[in-house]
Amino acid sequence: MGIAILFSGQGTHHPGMFDILLESPSGARYVERACAVLGLSRERLDGLLSQESVEGRYAQPLIATLGYGVWDLIRERVPRPVAMVGYSLGELIAYACAGAFDFETMLRMCEARARFMEEAVRRPAGLVSVSGVRLEELKRLCVKTQTYIAIINGDDHCVVGGEAGALARMSAALDERGGASHHPLPINIPSHTPLMAEASSRFEEYLRELPIHSPSIPVISTAVNQVLYARDDLIRTLAEQMRNTVRWAECMQTASEMGAEVFFEIGPGSSLGQITERLLPDARVHSIDEFKAVEGIARWLNKAG
């Protein structure tokens, strides 16, 4: 059975998320390198991960460190994936794990990406998760409230982004409609909306100066729902993804059509696994939070794949 590796995005951190790396010297070195780059002590790191919301300039490199570190520890011990897919920030991690650039370059990208996004926000803004509303109706509500569909996790499961006032109007419209569930996400950046156009342009210029190569493992771009290999395509879509809707549901279907029957989520939490189980009920799905050691991950992936 084919394996797809999924990489989580920002917003799902927790205090014990690095435990699986810290159990071994080879895994701990990634945490130590990230802390050195970010100027963090281990005590400061633990404090940050205990907070509900963490600044992107810390959160994005730390999430990326977990994803890259875990994959590096298991890559030689598991079957070659048919595809990798990353959720928001996770797409950058996916390309790094697929060999398009190295660990240090990935950390620099994460820091720049977070900085550009934060500097592009002029007024309070954020993201709201919405379920129970069909996509076409939600699009109409977005036009009415001046919000934007940031991520499509299914026909009636989406993330909406915008400025705080616009999101308040969306929430009021959903309450008036009834039958919908909505809640704000712990992120104050309207990612994957036109409000990130300036950040997207700056990031594209930044990426063109970095050593980026064709990935050795197929990565499905969530901006266009395609596997891309050319350097210019990677750079363009990594930047476009910041201002365009993430088509996650479509990408999961594409991964399935490529032969993936086993989906493994690398990142804190299990939200991608839950989304995948809903979209592909016949798939076998697990997340790293279900394992205590990388040896267990490797055994399961070898048995499942």
pLDDT at residue 14, rounded to an integer: 80
CB 147 within 8 A of CB 197: no
Give pLDDT, residue 47.
85
Strand partners, 149: 160
pLDDT bucket at 100, cuts 50 / 70 / 90: very high
- Look over the chain and give the mean of its residue pLDDT values, rounded to a whole number: 94
Pairing mode, strands 2-7 and 260-266: parallel
Q: Which residues of 251-276 are buried (b: 16+ CB within 10 A; e: fewer)?
A: bbebbbeeebbbbbbbbbbbbbbebb
Judged against a pLDDT cut of 80, whether residue 11 lies above it is answered with no
Bigger pLDDT: 130 or 38? 130
Place of tokens 């005590």: 43
Residue 53 pLDDT > 80: no
CA distance 49 to 145: 34
CATH topology of domain 125-184: Alpha-Beta Plaits (3.30.70)
Q: What is the pLDDT of residues 185-226, one digit of tens each?
A: 988 999 999 999 999 999 999 999 999 999 999 999 999 999
Structure tokens at 24: 């071994």
Using pLDDT thresholds of 50, 70 and 90, give the confidence band for residue 45: confident
- How many Cα neighbours within 13 Å face the side chain of 60? 26
Predicted confidence at residue 289, as pLDDT, reads 87
Residue 52 phi/psi, 5° resolution?
A: -65, -40
The mean per-residue pLDDT over the stretch 275-288 comes to 95
Least confident of 30-44, 89-103, 233-247: 30-44
Tokens describing residue 235: 């750079």
List residues bridging with 262 in a β-sheet: 3, 284
What homologous superfamily does CATH list for 2-120+194-304? Malonyl-Coenzyme A Acyl Carrier Protein, domain 2 (3.40.366.10)
Mean pLDDT, residues 234-248 taken together: 97
- Bridging pattern class, strands 284-287 and 260-266: parallel
Give residue 204's pLDDT. Answer: 98
Instruction: Please give the pLDDT value at position 52.
Output: 75
pLDDT of residue 55: 81
pLDDT-derived band of residue 168, with 50, 70 and 90 as boundaries? very high
Domain ranges of the chain: 2-120+194-304, 125-184
